[in-house]
Chains A and B, each alone.
Chain A
Amino acid sequence: GESVGLHLPTLSVQEGDNSIINCAYSNSASDYFIWYKQESGKGPQFIIDIRSNMDKRQGQRVTVLLNKTVKHLSLQIAATQPGDSAVYFCAENIRDGANNLFFGTGTRLTVIP
């Protein structure tokens, strides 16, 4: 859904544990989803994407799961490291001819050494 940026959910995990960050998207017509990582003082960095014809996609240490029935997206980070500490955004692209993305509020992940 569109970002409102007022209250940022937070997640704290121990180094080495797995992290799961969740996102509820708003539009059932969305056909493409992206997870971004934003470190302090930097721009959002592309992590992984998934199209609506898939329900799972894996990258290096990251997995994205898509549940279209409940309009839910999750990002799983395996063996979380201190360098994973950042704000994570999900973004959806609505299949309406436009090509802009709608960003979620973001989740702040803090990794405890």
Chain B
Amino acid sequence: DAGVIQSPRHEVTEMGQEVTLRCKPISGHDYLFWYRQTMMRGLELLIYFNNNVPIDDSGMPEDRFSAKMPNASFSTLKIQPSEPRDSAVYFCASRDVTTGAHYFGPGTRLTVL
């Protein structure tokens, strides 16, 4: 398995623009998580899905953030409009249904100018 796949790996955009981050979880995993990592706040859980259904989005910072999981193999995290304080590395992770371990993707480094 290729592991969790994220795209793009790097994104540079201007304030006010829409940003869409993409994730393909490991096949067969039952949960998908979106995290954000910054130097100041470390790893923060934004939202997670179970069998494509959003379970807890209490970590989503504002209404500017939204996430979807239209099927078991694809999820998106959208920021509209983006702001400089959204600059961070965004990770997607999926959970092994057998062990409970979470496996992370390589992340998307977002820079909002």
Chain A interfacial positions (CB closer than 8 Å to B): 3-6, 32, 34, 36, 42-46, 49, 89, 91, 93, 98-101, 103, 105-106
- Residue pair A42, B107 in contact (C-beta under 8 Å): yes
Tell me which residues across on chain A come within 8 A of B101, comparing CB atoms.
Answer: 34, 46, 49
Stretch binding the partner chain, chosen from B12-20, B33-41, B68-76, B78-86: B33-41
Instruction: Give chain B interface residues in 95-109, CB to chain A under 8 Å.
Output: 95, 99-107
Nearest CB of chain A from residue B24's CB, rounded to whole Å = 14
Instruction: Give chain B interface residues in 45-92, CB to chain A under 8 Å.
Output: 45, 48, 50, 55-56, 91
- Residue pair B95, A5 in contact (C-beta under 8 Å): no
Tell me which residues across on chain A come within 8 A of B31, comparing CB atoms.
Answer: 99
Tell me which residues across on chain A come within 8 A of B48, comparing CB atoms.
Answer: 99-100
Which B-chain residue is minimally distant from A101 (CB atoms)?
B102
Which B-chain residue is minimally distant from A31 (CB atoms)?
B100
- Residue pair B91, A99 in contact (C-beta under 8 Å): no
- Residue pair A105, B104 in contact (C-beta under 8 Å): no
